Structure 1
Amino acid sequence: MPNKIIGGDITNSLGIAKLDIGSRKKVIVTAGFMGFQNVSQTVDVSSSTFIDIKLPPQAKSIDEITVIAKSKEQLIRESPEAVSVIGAKELQGRAVTIESFLNRNTGIKIRQTGGLGSSSRIMIHGLEGNRVKVLVNGTPIDMFDGMFSIDDIPINTIDRIEVYKSIIPARFGVDGLGGAINIVTKEFDTDYFDLSYEIGSFNTHKVSNMFRKNLPEKGMLIGGGGFYNYSLNNYDFHVPKREHLKVEQDHAKFESYMLKGVVKFTKLWFDQISLELGYYNRFSQMQGVTDNIQHAHTKQQMYSIENKFEKEGFISRKLNFTMHNNFGHTCNNFIDTSAYRYDFEGNRWLSQSIYGETGDVPHNSNDKGVSLNSRINLDFLASRNHSINLNSAFSYSKRNPQDELANQYANYAISGYPNKLTSLISSLTWEAKFASKKIINMLSAKHFYINTKVEELGSHVQQNTSTVKQNTSNNIGFVEAIKWQFIPDFHLKASYQRAIRLPATNELFGDGVLIIPAANLKPEQSHNVNFGLLTDKSGVLCTKRLQFETGLFYMNIKDMIAFVEQYRVAGYANIEQVEIKGVEAELKLDINKHFYTYANITYQDARNILKYDPISNSPNPKYGLRMPNMPYLFSNFGLEYHNGELFNENWFIKLFWDGRFTEKYYYSWKLSSNQSRTIPSCFINDIGVSAELKKRFTISAECHNIHNSEEWNLYQTPLPGRSFHVKLRYTFLKSRDYQ
């Protein structure tokens, strides 16, 4: 009777195992594996030293298994950084813009100047403009000469929106003080098709399309898409400072479109190599609010090339490599050549400056620019609990402003001067996990290098004269962030950043005529501190899921750059020091499987703390005053009903209500108790319904600002009133795993 050997060893990755049988002549070997039947085989060792055992599959019914895993959005929320995340499910099927959706988030306020396509400023924790960075897939959109708006991006193409508050992760390789918004678009490795059309009030039309085709046998994925946006923006408003006069906006037409194509390779040495080509075109009429502008408009074009390299196990199996490159060529045209000016009563008269409605000289500019951005990320997993990230972001931009018509009338290069900007931002981040990953710490150091050059041209009388001026700056910043999960589902956060915001070229060198150069301008610096509490727990107080987050924030900004006008001379200077204190809180509650509600509130108190005017060295009359033109108290709230079983399993119905409130605030310094120049408080309500059939067809209908309340922004700029929107969407995904 031969000896029986059960187990004895575990096979390697090729399914090979070695057994020590001693002096036995015959043995019975039994092999088994989960999901397969056990097989026993008698082996005559004297005639064979190698045997091949094949296991037949075993069909076995098991009880239902529930797998619980945290989503990508939840993992980001639980990171040590002060961050909020808007997921694709929240955006799905909505007939809204990205900016209007961001406006409902805690700590964020969008400052718009009109309807679709109008300029806007994003405020995070009281800081806005260049102090807040906006990125798409980690690439700053300001590299494209500021022409591209995030509202142009179709909401269907977005996977998630990450909002970093007072903290800018080192891995993005950008400067800034107030934080960053990173819009991450969807990526598919299978066949995908998405087509949507939206029609809305004020003659608004929005079309978007995206498709992907996977060719796995060739290791390729090809795709493309684009969008088209159009609106007349012909809404009614009361003329500022003339509230008795209500008019219809009749010169605010906006039109934009983009076309893109992408090819991705997956069977080369790199795990992934992608190439994307794009073309963007934009037209917008100048929107008059205090003056009735009738002819001035802008036209813009952009060509872009983007490519990406990814490799896991780069040189070492513990090292991952990513390189992301962007190149853009832009052309901006501003046309303002009207011989007449107009008012809102219908009067017309000859322009005092001969031509032009917006300034003292006519314009017919043809500004060209090129931009290059290259970002390299190296992630090294030193151990299970320690990783190191090295990031390097190189940026180069060149601008060549040209406006011969304006220069001719001014006798100077009033359109600006040719300039170049080169920057290199490098960072090193160490992430460590302790106490069974209950404590996560991130420490980053950042180095900022910037070099700017401008060629100052002479007047038309001295066309051959030119002077080159430059500015070079080196600065160090760092970030420390820690998170502690002190009990299950409860997380405490704390972070500190020494933030740097580098001066822009126009701030450094002005325009040589109306705005004087400020070549010695220093970078803005800020000490940002955040404390937060986050919980995400199921089954609390008979509810399905409860999410609660609250935070305290503090910022002390010095060398703040401001525009100064004095004795007919204007320019930029480091003349402000600001202190911001604030608190925010948000509650999201899945009451049951059909009802969801949310509410958030933000209070931010920004004060001027500069005691003496740095120019006159006299006491600063604005010391201790709240910063003007800045909302300090605002709140958002809403209720949603959703049901996938109302009719049958093929339909998913969603009804929702969203509300937002903003307390009134002063749009200029409150130097007197009799100051009455305020932007009034407003309470805006939106409602809507969405129906999805078989996860392919979606129809949505929404009404924004249902009470037609007057809403003002940015120095009493009127925003559109009540509007209606209907959106149709068709989606095809070969694998329905992604939602």
Structure 2
Amino acid sequence: MKNFALIQILLLLSCAITNANPIKVIGHITSGDEHVPFANVSINDGQKGVFADKDGHFTIELEENQTYSFLVSVVGYKDQTIEFKPTRSNHDIHFNLTKDLLELNEVIVSSSRRSQSRQETSSVVNVVGSDFLMKNDIKVVGEGLNYIPGTRVESTCGNCGSTQLRLNGLEGPYTQILIDSRPLFSGLVGVYGLEQIPVAMIDQVEVVRGGGSVLYGANAIGGTVNIITKSPKFNAYEVGTNFGTIDGKSHDYNMYFNTSLVSKNEKTSSYIYGSYRNRDVWNANPDDIYYQLDDDGNPTGSPIKDDFSELTAMKTLSLGTKVYHQFSDYNKLSFDLKYTHDERRGGNKLDLPKDQADITESIDMHIGTAMLNHDWFSKDKKLHLNSYLSGQYVHRDSYYGAYQQKDGFGLTTGQTVVAGSQLNINLGEFWNGKSFFVTGVEYINDQIHDKKLSYFDEDLGQNTQDATVSDQISNTYAIFAQNEWVSNRWSVLVGARWDFVDIVDKQTHENDKRVNSINPRVNLKYKLNENMQLRGGFATGFRAPQMFSEDLHIEVTSGQGVRTQLDPNLKPESSLSYNLAWDFDKTFGHVQTYFLVEGFHTRIKDRFDNQYNYLEDGTLILFKRNSTSDAIVQGINLEGRVAPSEKLSFQAAYTIQSAKYEEENQWGDEDSSTSKYILRTPNQYGSLSADYKITNQWTATMTGVYTGSMHVPYLPGGFIDGQLTTEEELIQSEQFFDMGLKIAYMTKLTKDSNIQIGAGVKNIFNQMQSNFVSGVDKDAAFVYGPITPRMFYIDIRIGNLLN
């Protein structure tokens, strides 16, 4: 009996040891007869995970006789979930994915500060992926945003080439731009920032329109643009180059590389990228003439041929890396390092020193960014703590001046530090649904020091002193929290963010401001059936006053002293936003479709109103006060996508809106004209794109951006058609359709690499504004319509993941 009992114990121990030994599960991922490479395999809601290889296979060790939930996701295919219990005799699992021709199921983070499928979000989120940017020859982020509903990028200065992004008709300062969910776009960087981010570093761009994105910060009144950079997932590389020409004389050259490196144990990985762009200056109206002005402001002397730029000369270098190290399944650390050098010059006589030309607007900007990020997960993955520290330093040398002014040189430095921590809690089952709670704290320190540099004053016979324009420190302390409850039909998201902003004017302390604001957010989603959903929400928002204003250089080109003043009674701007959206996606036979109709309404109270006043010594004062007139922007965004087959797909977006002030609003100095229109804002605009896979090797893409008529202000002083303009005017512009076409051919270069050669044309019909201004005193802000004229280009891409 004793021997029998001993045998039983040994058998039990043997079984226990056997069961404790993991089983190697082998996975196969296909779509029809094709293997799907590099899919993401998540097990039990992220408790474990692995990536498939280039042949669509993966292996992972799991415990025997336990049931696991496998979720497979990859761009271009619909997600698939399978329950699987591995055994010694059954350890192979097969996934057959269905193609998602319209890519509606991307994983996004911008809606609720946690990763989820775009179709599951409580608010409407639009995504532009790196594939779309690359195949349409889009070099920088700003160009690609025009293809999202309610989104428009415009040029704001003909001399320096600055741009701004408008969401739902609201100007650039009302949009919160994020890099990997961090608010590092200060007022200084935001002026040129969208043209400084190369697509080589972009994974996707997520856009949330309206105040539903208020949890990301104070400026998210119009919406949030979250630029998600690429992460290393498997060993890969890509190099490419592009050459474009406008008229055979003005060229745009671009080259880039990126590579991902992953260690054998997949614990450490890195992504490295670089990009260089060199664009020549371009003049739209070289045959126009202008005259010098005498002391009374009258034309004098012989006519002069226009030599002023409409596109600035530009050289941009970007380098960066992102490194990950996974200490365990529950701890991961990442570090980002980025450097950008942006040099550009506009005006005329670019071969002369800056202070010897008639007009020069130039910058020489260095931007360094570092980001440290730590993720901790509980063993059951129900808790996720994300802690982050980011910093950015900007050094910008500049010259804004006319008539060979010596005092046009400037130096602006900026420092931004963002630190915070965010806790995501999966509360599990609750009221026949699942509940997800997010809370966190955030601190933002933003410092800007803007000054005009000293110069030798010939009248005084001595050097002048540096003149400070703005010297400001802004500290923001924030707490946010939200809860999202999700059932089969309903999603309810309720959240709020509290901000305390402390602004210090280090120069005089007369402009110190403290702002305390709480802003709630509510979003609802109701699933009408398997194909239709309703989404709605409202949110409040605010924008704290800022001393620094990059608008000054647009108004000032003659080198006079400038200074910013805040009204002692200045209050922060506040907003209230509503939106309601209906979307529909259904496959009819082999035809996949998606449609969206979204209504929006935003009211802004206590708007910042800039007034320009001159002192007796010639100093220009930018006086910032609150307007008594609210701004109201409301309208409808429309989007449609259709894919009749795997070879052909179409995408279109259109916006119809009204953007007005409740009362007449001045648009210049205190003696200028007034208007109810929010200027430079068309009531209709949209975009379209089409992809056609002609053969396995040949593809064709077409794009188009439509800009409707808008009201554009023109200030006197320049020459149009050789005539001096002496009256300010509000011009109603023409409408534009900027269309592009590209043909590309791909073939094998080596066993593991492909090469793609493409050629195309942008702005085929050369749609540009009808009137360009000449002369030293021209209005630099009188620019509208497409930014780039007709351009022919060729490009070459080489990589091991091109398909």
C-alpha offsets along residues 79-123 of structure 1, whole Å, 9 cap, x if unaligned? 121321223332343312332221122111111147998210101
- 2:557 aligned partner: none
Aligned-partner residue type, residue 633 of structure 1: Q
Cα 1:480–1:364, aligned 2, differ >3 Å: closer, same or farther?
Answer: same
The AA in structure 2 aligned to 1:586 is E
Helix, strand or coil for the counterpart of 1:142?
coil
Q: State which of 633, 646, 658 in structure 1 corresponds to 2:703.
A: 658
Question: Residue 728 in 1 paired to residue 796 in 2?
Answer: yes
The answer to whether 1:194 aligns with 2:238 is yes
**Which stretch of the first structure deviates more once superposed, 164-173 or 442-451?**
164-173
Aligned-pair distance for 1:679? 2.1
- Is the Cα–Cα contact under 8 Å of residues 184 and 392 in structure 2 kept in the other structure? no
Summarize the alignment of residues 170-185 of structure 1 with structure 2, pairs less than 5 Å apart. 170-185=214-229
> Partner of 1:100: helix, strand, or coil?
helix
The one-character-per-residue Cα deviations of 1:397-421 (angstroms, maximum 9, x if unpaired) are 2233343316979978644243211
1:483 to partner: Cα distance = 0.8
Q: Residues 270 and 472 from structure 1, CA distance in 2 versus in 1: closer, same or farther, beyond 3 angstroms?
A: farther
Which residue in 1 is equivalent to 2:591?
544
Q: Which residue matches 1:333?
A: 397
More moved, 558-567 vs 203-212: 558-567
Note the C-alpha offset of 1:522.
1.4
Q: 1:60 & 1:96 partners in 2: Cα distance?
A: 42
Q: Residue deviations 1:179-216, cap 9 Å, x none?
A: 11111122123222121111111321111112222224
* Ranges in structure 2 where 5+ consecutive residues have no aligned partner: 1-11, 22-62, 68-85, 109-115, 292-302, 350-355, 553-559, 616-620, 716-727, 773-780
1:453 aligns with 2:496: no
Residue correspondence of structure 1 range 92-131 to structure 2 within 5 A: 92-97=134-139, 98-113=141-156, 118-131=161-174
Does residue 169 (structure 1) correspond to residue 222 (structure 2)? The answer is no
Where do residues 37-436 of structure 1 align in structure 2 (5 Å cutoff)?
Answer: 57=89, 65-66=96-97, 70-72=105-107, 75-97=117-139, 98-113=141-156, 118-143=161-186, 145-146=188-189, 149-201=193-245, 202-217=250-265, 219-237=267-285, 249=309, 252-267=312-327, 271-287=331-347, 293=358, 295-313=360-378, 317-335=381-399, 351=403, 355-356=404-405, 362-384=407-429, 385-405=434-454, 414-434=467-487, 436=488
Between 1:561-570 and 1:659-668, the stretch displaced more is: 561-570
Change (3 A) 1:685 1:320: same
Aligned counterpart, 1:680: 734
Task: Supply the distance in 2 between the matched residues of 1:627 and 1:238 (Cα, whole angstroms).
Answer: 32
Closer, same or farther in 2 for the Cα pair 1:304/1:159, shift >3 Å?
closer
Q: What SS is found at the alignment partner of 1:91?
A: helix
Between the aligned partners of 2:532 and 2:186, the Cα distance in structure 1 is 39
| Cα offsets for 1:618-645 (capped at 9, x unmatched) | xx9958x3322211111322332114xx
Aligned to 1:708: 766
Residues 551-562 of structure 1: pairs in structure 2 closer than 5 A: 551-562=598-609
Among candidates 624, 627, 642, match of residue 572 of structure 1: 624
Residue 375 of structure 1: how far off its partner (Å): 3.1
User: Which deviates the most, 271-280 or 528-537?
Assistant: 271-280
SS in 2 for 1:15: helix
Letter matched to residue 75 of structure 1: S
Q: State the one-letter code of the partner of 1:423.
A: T
C-alpha separation between the residues in 2 aligned to 1:281 and 1:230? 12
CA distance, structure 2, for counterparts of residue 413 and residue 14 of structure 1: 79
Q: Aligned letter for 2:394?
A: T
Structure 2 partner of 1:526: 575
Post-superposition shift, 1:532? Answer: 0.5
CA contact (8 A) 1:236 1:246 kept: no
Task: Determine if the alignment matches structure 1 residue 494 to structure 2 residue 551.
Answer: no
Answer whether contact 1:91 1:156 (CA < 8 A) is retained: no
Go from structure 1 to structure 2 and tell me whether the alpha carbon gap of 1:701 and 1:292 turns closer, same or farther (over 3 Å shift).
Answer: farther
User: Which residue identity lines up with residue 600 of structure 1 in the other structure?
Assistant: A
How far residue 257 of structure 1 moved from its aligned partner, in angstroms, is: 0.7
The 2-side partners of 1:178 and 1:12 are apart by 60
How far has the Cα of 1:446 moved from its partner?
A: 0.8
Q: Is the 8 A contact 2:436 2:483 kept in 1?
A: yes
> Given that residues 395 and 412 in structure 2 are in contact (C-alpha distance below 8 angstroms), is that contact kept between their aligned partners in structure 1?
yes
CA distance in 1, matches of 2:360, 2:561: 27
CA distance in 2: counterparts of 1:660 and 1:227, whole angstroms: 26
Q: 1 CA distance for matches of 2:435 and 2:655?
A: 35
Determine which of 541, 545, 563 is the counterpart of 2:610: 563
- CA drift of 1:227 comes to 1.2
Give me the whole-angstrom Cα distance separating, in 1, the residues matched to 2:159 and 2:762.
14
CA contact (8 A) 2:521 2:539 kept: yes
Check 1:701–1:375 CA distance in 2 against 1; reply closer, same or farther (3 A cut): farther
One-letter amino acid matched to 2:473: K
Secondary structure, aligned partner of 1:90: helix
Instruction: Tell me the percent identity.
Output: 14
The more displaced of 527-536 and 715-724 is: 715-724
How far off is 1:396 after superposition?
0.7
Distance 2:455 2:519 in 1: 41
3-state SS in 2 of match to 1:267: strand
With over 3 angstroms needed to count, the CA separation of the structure-2 counterparts of 1:414 and 1:603, relative to structure 1, is: farther
Aligned residue for 2:800, secondary structure, equals strand
Is structure 2 residue 494 aligned with structure 1 residue 443? yes
Give the superposition deviation at 1:535: 1.3
Q: Determine if contact 2:158/2:311 at 8 Å carries over to the other structure.
A: no
- Maintained 8 Å contact 2:547/2:565: no
Return the alpha-carbon distance in structure 1 between the equivalents of residues 290 and 655 of structure 2. Answer: 32
C-alpha distance 730-677 of structure 1, shift in aligned 2 (>3 A): same
CA contact (8 A) 2:448 2:472 kept: yes
Alignment TM-score, normalising by the size of structure 1: 0.78
- Return the alpha-carbon distance in structure 2 between the equivalents of residues 240 and 141 of structure 1: 42
Q: Structure 1 residues 523, 411: CA separation in 2 closer, same or farther (over 3 Å shift)?
A: farther
Q: Distance in 2 between matches of 1:652 and 1:442?
A: 46
User: Which digits, 9 at most, give the CA deviation of each residue in 1:502-541, with x for residues without a partner?
Assistant: 2223369x999544333432111111000101112112xx
Paired with 2:288 and 2:633, the residues of 1 have a C-alpha distance of 30
Change (3 A) 1:221 1:442: same
Distance 1:196 1:432 in 2: 45
Indicate yes or no: 2:738 matched with 1:691.
no
Tell me which structure has the larger Cα radius of gyration: 1
The amino acid across from 2:631 in the alignment is V
- Please report the RMSD computed on the Cα atoms of aligned residues, expressed in angstroms: 4.1
